[in-house]
Amino acid sequence: MSTQTNLLATTRRSSTIDDVPTIPTRVLKGIILLLCCTVVIVPFIGVISTSIASQAHVTESGGFVLWPDSLNWASYRAIFNGGVVQRALLVSFVITLGGTLVSLAGSTMLAYALSRPGSFGQRPILMIVLFSILFSPGLIPNYLVVKEFGLLDSLLALVLPTAINGFNVIVLRSFFMSIPASVIDSARVDGAGDFRIFWSIVLPLSRAVLAVIGLFYAVGYWNAFFNAMLYISDTAKWPLQLVLRTYVINNTELSSGDLGGASADQLPPQESIQMAILVISLVPILIVYPFLQRHFTKGMLTGAVKG
Amino acid sequence: MLIDQARATDSGPPGTPTAERSAPPAGGQQLSWWARARRDKVLLLMAIPGLALMLAFHYLPLLGNLIAFQEYLPFVPFGRSAWVGLDNFSVIFNGDAEFLNALKNTLLITLVQVIFVFPAPIALALLLNSLLSERIKRVVQSVLYLPHFLSWVIVIAIFQQILGGSGLINNTLRARGIDTIDFLGNPDSFIALLTSQVIWKDSGWGTILFLAALTQIDQGLYEAARVDGASRLRQLWHITVPGIRGLIILLLILRLGDSLTVGFEQIILQQNLVGRPASEVLDTYVYNNGVLAGQWGVSAAVGLVKGLFGVALVIGANKVAHIFGEAGVYQKA
Amino acid sequence: MISRRRLLGGSLAAAAGIGGLSGCATVTRSTDIAALNKPVGLPTYRRFDGPKPDLPRSHPLMPDCFYRFPAQPVRVTEGRPGDGSDVSGTVPTSNPIPPTADRNPYWQELNRRVGSPLELTITSAAGSDYTNKFATSVAGDTLGDLFNVDGKFSYLPQFLEARAQDLTEYLSGDAILEYPFLANLSTDSWRGCVFSGGIRAVPIQRGVMSSNLLLARQDLLDQVGVELGSPTVDELNKVAKAVTDGKKNRWAFAVPPAAALSAMLGLPNGWEVRDGRLVHSRELPEHKEMLAISTKMQADGLIHPDGVAKNNQKVWFTQGSAVMTQDTYSSIQSFYRRATVKTFAIGLPVVRDSAGKVGRFLLGSPNNSIAAMRPSSPERTKMLLRVLNWMAAPFGTEEYLFRKFGLPERHYNLKGTDPVLTEAGSSEVCLGEFPIQYLSDGGYPVYFPGHPEAVDVAYSHLRTILPTAILQPTYGLYSPTDSTKGKVADKDFDSLTKEIQLGRSDLSDWDKAVANWRKSGGDAIRHEYEEALAIKGNK
């Protein structure tokens, strides 16, 4: 299978050589992409700069520094001081990894069951999945259900309620459905059962969408704080985002303002902390992303269909 | 042997959703339901874990939305709250001018976003896909997906630092004695502002699903097209776009189901700047008039109405998709 | 509408009955103004004879003023308040969360000194987090023994009747003297804890420290060479024009100076009795005049260009792009900490009305919030009150020093006599604001460590304005309509104010909005407060 993929990639590259786009097209594309990247990168440089700028510089430039005049790690030191954030990082890793596995397993199996034409009960189940996107339960009923299941203060409360996302299931299903019937039929002729077909044919052929949906779930778990805020009282079990949230309070306009907080200024400037938090929570995503990205930026799979 | 997308490009009879073409498993529809259930027992077993989680953690609490018909107070158990009929729905149906304005703004924003925001990641994905260098493609893509990870609080703070009344641009203008420009507080350009923020934040991230779909196009089709001397533009139009059309339509239908929801957090954070008349949308209206007053029933009621509206739109849009020979979200019964 | 309310009252009664909760012998209907506002014997105020302030108390509302932390703080309690059983609680925090008790020597020592392990459910005060957490914990009955009450929660009296211990018999009159630090909290603070004829909470007192006033950068005024003194409206405008310089990105005001203008124009603090009838500030011509003045300021470019819409005034004021701002007395300390120039100095101008008299100062709520207790046996209630009492030991005592700063060397070092938190202290003691401060706390002193001159400035301002200062006349009263529709209306008027100031709405729209508000709830609120006022008879 992998050799086939490689073969295909090579043929593609070689065959495109005699089909190079015109120079003006390439220049135009270059300009567009450069523009897009600049618009994104400049604020990000600002984010990093602000996180390491000195208090005076942050204040003088009105809260947002485009380029730091000095290196000041006070924000990072303040955040990692006390070991709370380190522990939360570990919790977040566990939830993200475990949660993504649970989600992918449940979602792909459900999506596959819904992708076989004419299978029993498909339509009602599909409607259940679809309507779950359109109706969302309220805060309090969610809490009571989690409480009744005895999941308060358990990490499972951060995984199970959000494990199956209807949107993701429907997207997975549509990808599974685009796998040619002939591939599946020929496997069936060879005597493979439904699960076998799912495991050794459908999943390997769907690496791209698995990478994407896996990323959707992983990012969802990584960024989630709301359920943890509601369900987890023991702060030792708080995920990173919830802990980091307590570092930035007085700056959000949604907050009511006066809850004391006078001495929060013993921390480095709020703006720096806010940006440092962002950097800290982005780093793991930046590390993981390239490994997943490989799977969805490269034409790879349909070579298997040939012949 | 060609795949689905290929059929869509050639002469497949219109009116037949592509996905339905896969032959049903041996036996077909004539079997009794029990026989079909037995035949598909493995599939059903596979569906159970996901389905059970969804029923337990989504549909069970959804029963709590019955408080839409109650005057619910958190310190009174569900069963003991007073039933108030449709009182909670009055916030929607009383025809209040402010509500109608919020509804108008919501639909307008949805329309503009469907036209400008929805296609942005598709265009970007196609552009990336057309790059010859795998390296550049990956680097560009991994730069553009970054803003997705910024919260709205920060995105808006960044916009204010640059475009605000004392932001970089206006401070420069003022220092040179030029009139400043009100980018963020101008009610007339508010929708344009919202739209550009969403495009900036989520277009790069949105490409990944389309890129994944592009990987599934049989590269053999391109080779065949090149042999026939088709230009790159023709290849784009006749192979690439049809290859992801099913996904585009699927996502569009789901987006329409969400028509009454437009970035609550994004808007409420900027409501001070442009004022309520220009920025009030359904969700902020409910927040300002129901949630703020501690009326849990009202939020539930609005949620129900929005859900029903979404169902109607999804079913309608799906029908339209079928008319045009697309698979949509689900197939004809 | 009425029948709906009645139904609600009935179901409340049923819920309380079935729940078998003690402390709620009678459950009132939510429209029964008389029952909701039934008076009760307030706790006796007895000032605790603790550390002596550095400046004399000129007025009952004057907070204790200290230049520096008292040397050799004295221990003022004996034994431990707890009985060894776990005490659970739900609190917000506006600081980074502390390490859990098992890794936090401060928390361990706290548990030891309290004599009962404290199990706190801590939630960030960011956004609506605490509001959501509180509502779900109420629904799931998971608040614990002690809980900080979310001020935004609707139907507070009914909730507290159903779910909180009635503390009247323990705290009313001289009974409170059993708990000397609670008795040390002001009567005004306790008035905010009375609901439906019972004392159902304890106050987290802030006193005048959280009231808003006009702050000026004295150093910048001196630099430009203008004298602000004690301005009237015209003088304030003149100074504002002199210091504004768009090309240098410097404006007179970070935000519209509403507190100063209110005082200058003699506005009421919310509702006020005039000619035997309650009127709201927003109904008065003076209020429109204030709007007109601030609109003019905005049009003249005296207010920071993002000042009306955006809340970043702390940065602008520290940075010097705004010469004046509006903030609280307790914010003074944080501005000095943030200051980036050595000459940084804050002045607090006393504003005057057109006749030249000191403008009437409008006080904020005397409490940051209130905390309540789950109904329990008399013994446990007393034990919990002893714990809350311990947590309210006043500034300058040994208990206070430990509570806010932890243990010497590990958590703080002395600079002179002022404790300064170490890095471990910042994290373990939560920057000196360990969240038990939202269960019970002593009064806030005027104490700006390292800046005795700022203490003088605040003191002299307080001494001048306190004789004129008024609380909201409706403070401590409950209007069911105000608690729901009132919040919506406040927000509506707030956005209309901004629209007018930014020139997007006309001043005449104000009258329409007021007329509309009166019809849609304003008059109902007025009647409810009038009835409540007649019953409770506030001074």
Find chain C residues with C-beta within 8 A of A147's C-beta.
140, 142
| Residue C113: pLDDT band with limits 50, 70, 90 | very high
Number of domains in chain C: 2
Instruction: Of B308, B155, B306, C487, give the one whose Cα is nearest residue A252.
Output: B155
Q: Does one domain contain both C107 and C53?
A: yes
Residue A168 lies in a domain: yes
DSSP codes joined into one string, B138-178: HHHHHHHTGGGGS-HHHHHHHHHHHHSTTSHHHHHHHHTTP
Instruction: Of A105, A295, A217, A114, give the one whose Cα is nearest residue B216.
Output: A295
| Residue A19: pLDDT band with limits 50, 70, 90 | low
Contacts of C317 by beta carbon, 8 Å cutoff, 6+ apart:
C215, C217, C254, C324, C325, C327, C335
Q: Does one domain contain both C337 and C377?
A: no
Find chain C residues with C-beta within 8 A of A60's C-beta.
319, 340
Residue C453 lies in a domain: no
Using CA atoms of A29, A33, A34, A36 in order, give the dihedral in degrees to the nearest 10. 140
Find chain B residues with C-beta within 8 A of C247's C-beta.
174-175, 177
pLDDT tens sequence across B219-267: 888 888 888 888 888 888 889 999 899 999 999 999 999 889 888 999 9
- With contact defined as beta carbons under 8 Å apart, do C321 and C249 qualify? yes
Q: What is the CATH number of the domain that holds A206?
A: 1.10.3720.10
pLDDT at A13 over 60: no
Q: Which of A233, A245, A277 to mutate to probe the C interface, most C CBs <10 Å? A: A233
| Residue C304: pLDDT band with limits 50, 70, 90 | very high
B214-223, B244-253, C143-152, C299-308: least confidently modelled range: B214-223
Cite the residue boundaries of each domain of chain B with CATH code 1.10.3720.10: 87-323
Instruction: State chain C's mean pLDDT as an integer.
Output: 90
b/e per residue C77-96 (b: at least 16 CB within 10 A): beebbbeeeebbbbbbbbbb
Q: Does one domain contain both C229 and C331?
A: yes
pLDDT at C314 over 90: no
Q: How far is CA C298 from CA A283, B180, C249, C254, C256, in A?
A: 43, 15, 15, 11, 8
- C14–B80 CB contact, under 8 Å: yes
Q: Does one domain contain both C268 and C327?
A: yes
pLDDT tens sequence across C279-297: 999 999 999 999 999 999 9
pLDDT, position C224? 94
Residue A252 lies in a domain: yes
Q: What is the CATH number of the domain that holds C117?
A: 3.40.190.10
Nearest C-alpha in C relative to B294: C154
| Structural domain B87-323, CATH architecture | Orthogonal Bundle (1.10)
Residue C423, domain extent: 38-209+367-447
- A260–C94 CB contact, under 8 Å: yes
Return the number of other C-beta atoms located less than 10 Å from residue A67's C-beta. Answer: 11
Q: What are phi and psi of C93, to 5 degrees?
A: -145, 145
Instruction: State chain A's mean pLDDT as an integer.
Output: 83
pLDDT, position A296? 82
Residue A246 lies in a domain: yes
pLDDT tens across the length of chain B (333 residues): 333 333 333 333 333 333 333 444 444 456 787 888 888 889 999 999 999 999 999 999 999 988 899 888 888 887 788 888 888 888 788 778 888 999 999 999 999 999 999 999 999 999 998 887 888 888 999 899 999 998 898 898 888 888 888 888 888 888 888 888 989 888 999 999 999 999 999 999 999 999 999 988 888 888 888 888 888 888 888 899 998 999 999 999 999 998 898 889 999 888 888 888 899 999 998 888 877 777 888 889 988 999 999 999 999 999 999 988 888 888 765
pLDDT tens sequence across C446-456: 999 999 999 99
Q: How far is CA C398 from CA A85, C75, C76, C77, C407, in A?
A: 31, 5, 7, 9, 11
pLDDT tens sequence across C368-408: 999 999 999 999 999 999 999 999 999 999 999 999 999 99
pLDDT, position A305? 42
Cα–Cα distance between C66 and C447 in angstroms, integer?
A: 5
| Residue A23: pLDDT band with limits 50, 70, 90 | confident
Cα–Cα distance between C98 and C86 in angstroms, integer?
A: 19
Instruction: Look at residues C456, C474, C492 and tell me which one is the last residue of a structural domain.
Output: C474
Residue A121, domain extent: 82-305
Closest to B175 (Cβ–Cβ): which among C14, C247, C495?
Answer: C247
- HEC string of C229-283 equals CCCCHHHHHHHHHHHCEHHHCEEEECCCCHHHHHHHHCCCCCEEEECCEEEEHHH
Burial class (CB in 10 A: 0-12, 13-18, 19+), B94: exposed
Residue C118's SS3 state is: strand
- Mean pLDDT, residues C64-74 taken together: 95
pTM, 2 dp: 0.89
pLDDT tens sequence across C457-509: 999 999 999 999 999 999 999 999 998 888 889 989 999 999 999 999 999 99
pLDDT, position C67? 96
Q: How far is B311 from chain C (nearest CA, A)?
A: 28
Establish if A169 touches chain B: CB-CB under 8 angstroms.
Answer: yes
| Residue C248: pLDDT band with limits 50, 70, 90 | confident
pLDDT, position B332? 64
Return the number of other C-beta atoms located less than 10 Å from residue C285's C-beta. Answer: 8
Residue C500 lies in a domain: no
Closest to A121 (Cβ–Cβ): which among B44, B49, B333?
Answer: B44
A58-62, B113-117, C63-67: least confidently modelled range: A58-62
pLDDT tens sequence across A65-79: 888 888 888 889 888
Q: Which of A130, A195, A252, A273 to mutate to probe the B interface, most B CBs <10 Å? A: A130
Q: Does A200 or C337 have the greater pLDDT score?
A: A200
| Neighbouring-strand partners of residue C277 | C274
Q: Does one domain contain both C293 and C381?
A: no
Q: Which of C95, C250, C333 to mutate to probe the A interface, most A CBs <10 Å? A: C95
Q: Does A57 or B251 have the greater pLDDT score?
A: B251
The proportion of chain A whose per-residue pLDDT surpasses 70, expressed as a percent, equals 84
Residue C457 lies in a domain: no
ipTM: 0.88
pLDDT at C151 over 90: no
Q: Does one domain contain both C225 and C302?
A: yes
Q: How far is CA C406 from CA A83, A232, B158, C23, C119, in A?
A: 18, 27, 39, 36, 18
Q: Does one domain contain both C324 and C396?
A: no
Find chain B residues with C-beta within 8 A of A119's C-beta.
25, 36, 40, 43
Cα–Cα distance between A188 and A177 in angstroms, integer?
A: 16
pLDDT tens sequence across A91-117: 999 999 999 999 999 999 999 999 988
Find chain C residues with C-beta within 8 A of A271's C-beta.
315
pLDDT, position C538? 53
pLDDT tens sequence across A208-247: 999 999 999 999 999 999 999 999 999 999 999 999 888 8
The residues in A 260-299 lying below 8 A from B, measured between CB atoms, are: 274, 278, 281-282, 285, 289-290, 293-299
Q: Kind of pairing, strands C271-274 and C198-199?
A: unpaired
Residue C53's SS3 state is: coil
Q: Does one domain contain both C326 and C186?
A: no
The residues in A 229-248 lying below 8 A from B, measured between CB atoms, are: none
pLDDT at C153 over 90: no
Residue C519 lies in a domain: no
Number of domains in chain A: 1
| Residue C257: pLDDT band with limits 50, 70, 90 | very high
Instruction: Look at residues C474, C490, C515 and tell me which one is the last residue of a structural domain.
Output: C474
Find chain A residues with C-beta within 8 A of C98's C-beta.
82, 84, 235
Chains touching B (at least 3 CB pairs under 8 A) are A, C
- Mean pLDDT, residues A281-303 taken together: 78
Q: Does one domain contain both C115 and C252?
A: no
pLDDT at A191 over 80: yes
Q: What are phi and psi of A258, to 5 degrees?
A: -85, 90
pLDDT tens sequence across C518-529: 998 999 999 999
Cβ-Cβ contacts under 8 Å between A and C: the total is 152
Closest to B272 (Cβ–Cβ): which among C309, C316, C321?
Answer: C309
The proportion of chain C whose per-residue pLDDT surpasses 90, expressed as a percent, equals 78
Q: Which of C94, C251, C327, C441 to mutate to probe the A interface, most A CBs <10 Å? A: C94
